[in-house]
Structure 1
Amino acid sequence: MPEMRLHDPRGDRLYLNAEERGAFLAAARWQSARDRTLCETLHWTGCRPSELIEVTPARVDLSVATIAIRSLKKRKDGAGRQKIVFRTVPVPPEFIDTLNTAHGIREAQRSRKKAVAPIWNLSRVRVWQIVKGVMIEAGIPDAPHRSPKGLRHGFGVHATVQGVPLHMLQRWLGHAQLSTTAIYADAVGREEQDIAARMWK
């Protein structure tokens, strides 16, 4: 399995910084309800597109503002069988309200059939295209970080900058190993330098 990193071999970053994440959210608010909530879910949870398209109304907890996401990375239990792992990620209550309004989550949860139907009935490729289009509208430069993966890495860096403990971030991102999550701590120094550079101007 290739080692996860936050910079490519040329040193270009592979994550969205705070300004780019803000611009992405602002651009997403001008999209259709479907595309807006899709982009905001990726932004607020750090999930992968393949995980996003499995989210159903039943996995949204409106009362505590969380979304349960099935980790799609293959894991084995003690007997060597593949196990299913869910992680619960907290999101802002205002976003849960938006999600409920746009997709009728509360109403869908009352129906056994609708509760288990995907909120976004799209392919992973289509999700990638939507996100990329919104990033272009947001003015994010044509660089390696302009991708859903860049958004996921941006979530990790932002959480670390905000002081989220690594073990909690590990759970939110669905990493099997804490050493994988620890790469976000290395990016904080670069992010802090960007902030300091703006302060010195």
Structure 2
Amino acid sequence: MRDTFSFANPRRGNTRQTQRKSLETKLAILLQGSNRSATNMRHPTAELSLFSATGTRKYLTSAERERFLQAIKDIEPLKRLFCTVLLWSGGRVSEILALTPETVDADLCSVALLTLKRRRKHVVRQIPLPPEVMRELDAQFDLGRRLAEPRLCRERLWPWSRTTAWRVVKEVMQRASITTPAASPKGLRHTFGVAAFEAAVPPHLVQRWLGHASLRTTSIYGDVLGDEERRFAERMWDGRHDHPTN
């Protein structure tokens, strides 16, 4: 009996040792994930920046935005409207592609975007659009007629895939000679946030328009060099010769 156990115990011991090591590995991974999650909860903007790892902007400047708007003037209406709504709403590609006649309010000049990147479902935010954009939307999609028909009122305005939408935006960026990391739909979203802060839109409104869960996430758009900050710098430059240098 002793000889039998002398052969059986090492195998059982090896199995238990392997299981213990596997459990220790899993616990280490879980602890690492918990620590990372805790860090992100304390500093939700730690990994969010308007600049790439090499310091390149992820948003369009005012001049680049004007070039983008000029570039979409000569393209077909469906593409032009998509790019226009994307720029002036700050929405994500999937959120704009989900728009239907029911989600467009011509009277209020606004669109209702279903926030897709929130844990809480069915978070809808109402985004105002320029009146001329709303008039073009109404004319292009014949919103009044579509709203009167149950089948058409829930059909998507742009029956594209996300890949097609990305390609449309990239084509316009190339026409506008914009080749930075900002030359993307996400770059237009960042551009919206920056422009809103430069226009002194209250931060809580920018947060709501962009669909951010935390105001700390929205606050990154206030870190961009704006006109007011440049004016302070110009005052400093203007006075650089007023004081003797050592």
Same fold? TM cut 0.5: yes
**Paired amino acid for 2:110:** T
- Whether the 8 Å contact between 1:68 and 1:89 is mirrored in structure 2 is yes
Distance verdict in 2 for CA 1:132–1:96, change over 3 Å: same
Counterparts of 1:8 and 1:139 in 2: how far apart (Å)? 19
CA offsets per residue over residues 154-173 of structure 1, 9 Å max, x none? 01000100010110000000
The root-mean-square deviation of aligned C-alpha atoms, in Å, is 2.0
Counterparts of 1:66 and 1:10 in 2: how far apart (Å)? 37
**Paired amino acid for 1:69:** L
> Are residues 1:85 and 2:129 paired?
no
- Whether the 8 Å contact between 1:68 and 1:86 is mirrored in structure 2 is yes
Deviation at 1:64, TM superposition (A): 1.1
Counterparts of 2:131 and 2:162 in 1: how far apart (Å)? 26
Secondary structure at 2:137 match in 1: helix
Bigger fraction of residues in helix: 2
Report 1:47-196 matches (<5 A).
Answer: 47-76=91-120, 83-140=121-178, 142-189=179-226, 193=230
**Residue aligning to 2:62:** 18
- Whether the 8 Å contact between 2:86 and 2:188 is mirrored in structure 1 is yes
Secondary structure at 1:170 match in 2: helix
Counterparts of 2:165 and 2:107 in 1: how far apart (Å)? 27
Secondary structure at 1:51 match in 2: helix
- Whether the 8 Å contact between 1:35 and 1:130 is mirrored in structure 2 is yes
> Are residues 1:33 and 2:71 paired?
no
**Residue aligning to 1:44:** 88
- Whether the 8 Å contact between 2:118 and 2:213 is mirrored in structure 1 is no
Deviation at 1:3, TM superposition (A): 2.5
Structure 2 residue runs without a partner (length 5+): 1-39, 41-45, 238-246
Which protein has greater RCO, CA pairs closer than 8 Å, 6+ apart?
A: 1
**Paired amino acid for 1:133:** E
Structure 1 residue runs without a partner (length 5+): 77-82
**Runs of 4+ that moved beyond 3 A:** 188-194
Identity, % of aligned positions: 41
Rg larger for: 2
